[in-house]
Amino acid sequence: MTTTPDADGALVRAFPTPGPLLGTAYRDLYLAAEGSDNQKATIGDPSLLPKPWDPPTCRNPRRVLHRLRRAEGPA
């Protein structure tokens, strides 16, 4: 019988890296505050954006990302 919590014997693990939903939420908030006028207009009301400190609000980042890519036009 082993007393380690995992088969690899690690007692402590690294904090997980935030996933793409949180990354996108922070990016959108940043662009809402610091982006170009076109980006700000595309994002719309910042109070309606997902809030990274409240993960359940981070549900559909593709909606805003798609609008931003359309507003930026061809590279």
CA 61/CA 22 separation, integer angstroms: 9
Instruction: Report DSSP state, residue 8.
Output: T
Q: 37-59 burial string, b = 16+ CB within 10 Å, else e?
A: eebeebbeeeeebbebeeeeebe
Q: Say what the pLDDT of residue 14 is.
A: 85
The gap between the terminal CA atoms of the chain, to the nearest Å, is 60
Q: Say what the pLDDT of residue 40 is.
A: 94
CA 7/CA 19 separation, integer angstroms: 25
State phi, psi for 65 to the nearest 5 degrees: -60, -40
The pLDDT profile of the chain, 75 residues, written as one tens digit per residue, is: 555 555 667 788 888 887 787 788 889 999 999 999 999 999 899 988 988 888 777 766 555 555 556 656 555
pTM assigned to the model: 0.56
